[in-house]
Amino acid sequence: MNSVRIVGGEFRRRVLRFPDSIGLRPTPDRVRETLFNWLGQDLHGWRCLDLFAGSGALGFEAASRGAERVVMVEQAGKVLAALHENHELLHKPGAVEIIRADALQYLASTQSKFDLIFLDPPYGKGWIKRLEPFLAGALNENGAIYVEAEYEIESLGDWHAERHGRAGEVHFHLLRRQTV
């Protein structure tokens, strides 16, 4: 089993375990730390969607930092089982909801609105372009999108890169809707 550590909040230093799975690349500690510095450390009241939840590092990190609701979407059976085990390990935080679903189908059909969407899909499969048309329907007016990709992203619909970083081959971005 692989592992990743939660870097802040209530579950700080807790270790999450997850299996090998094609395309699964957990967000490194340093990148998550940078992201939550960009967002602010306290996510109380936020509603977050972690598409392609994978290791759960981003979703559990958001819950650890006080998010009101964190929906984690994952389709792979072994990975989904590990998410449930990690949820147990953290004493089943009520804010976390784990759903087995296809990310595109979930995003296209959800009636929920989120303050933050974590988007870290497998590389080289065109997921970001396929998901882009559905992001606005799932985001609150002032919502943000966090994206990890193998290339730099300037915008997705009305959301434009406010912050960008790179760690090795991974480009990570925080996008917000531009106000006029």
What are the mean pLDDT values of the chain's consecutive 10-residue runs (180 residues total)? 88 87 76 92 95 94 97 95 95 96 96 97 93 96 95 94 93 88
Query: For residues 42 and 51, what is the distance between their CA atoms, to the nearest angstrom?
Result: 21
| Total domains, the chain | 1
Residue 20's pLDDT is 75
* SS3 state at 166: strand
pLDDT of residue 112: 97
Two tokens, residue 119: 């988007």
pLDDT at 180: 57
- State the Cα–Cα distance between residues 178 and 85, nearest whole angstrom: 39
DSSP state of 150: S
pTM: 0.94
Which H helix or E strand runs over 82? helix 77-89
In this prediction, residue 18 carries a pLDDT of 85
State the pLDDT at residue 95: 96
Contact 91, 65 (CB under 8 A): no
- CATH number for the domain spanning 84: value is 3.40.50.150
Q: How many residues are listed for the chain in this entry?
A: 180
Domain that holds residue 126: 2-177
How far apart, in Å, are the Cα atoms of 95 and each of 42, 87, 114, 152? 14, 10, 13, 32
